[in-house]
Amino acid sequence: MGKTEARDIFFNYIKEKGLRYTKQREAILGAFLASGKHITIDDLYTAVKKTNQDIGYATVHRNLKLMTECGLADEIKIGSHKARFEQKYGHEHHDHLICMKCGRFIEVHDEKIEKLQGKLAEANDFVPMRHKLEIYGMCKKCR
């Protein structure tokens, strides 16, 4: 479901920029597409290592940035924690409820809020391009 298209997007982006499609890129892309939500660079590095033990951390880092540039990945920074990435291609936009106790991320979406954000920006002569809404609190399990 979308893996081939995702690969095409990455491959085409690489080619358009005059870059080269390497075994490492293929491996990193594959591991990313197989990954769960909100992974860190370390998570992906560990995952890729399983099939490609000679991979370097910097290579994973660089390619995660490339995947972000071409729209396959989305970078999210929470509090003082390290950067996390989630799949973007084929995934709807959403915001996050973040549990302050267990760290769980709950993905949410509210079209009314999205619309009001647009109006709010407009009222301030501001052209919105992207936004981040994070609600911190306590999840069901943690109380």
Partner DNA sequence: CTAATATTGATAACTATTATCAATATAACA
Partner DNA sequence: TGTTATATTGATAATAGTTATCAATATTAG
83 Rama sector, left if φ>0, alpha if ψ -120 to 50, beta otherwise: beta
Tokens of 22: 């390497």
Q: What is the number of residues in the chain?
A: 143
Q: How far is the CB of 63 from DNA (least distance, A)?
A: 6
Min dist. Cβ of residue 22 to DNA (A): 4
* Contact flag: residue 103 with a second copy (CB under 8 A): no
CA 115/CA 51 separation, integer angstroms: 44
Site for a second copy in 111-140 (CB under 8 A): 112-113, 116-117, 120-121, 124-140
Q: Looking at 4, 20, 80, 92, which residue binds a second copy (CB under 8 A)?
A: 80
Which among 114, 112, 79 is positioned nearest to 93, based on CA atoms? 114
Task: Provide the binding-site residues for DNA, judged by CB under 7 A.
Answer: 14, 18-25, 40-41, 52, 54-59, 61-63, 65, 80-83
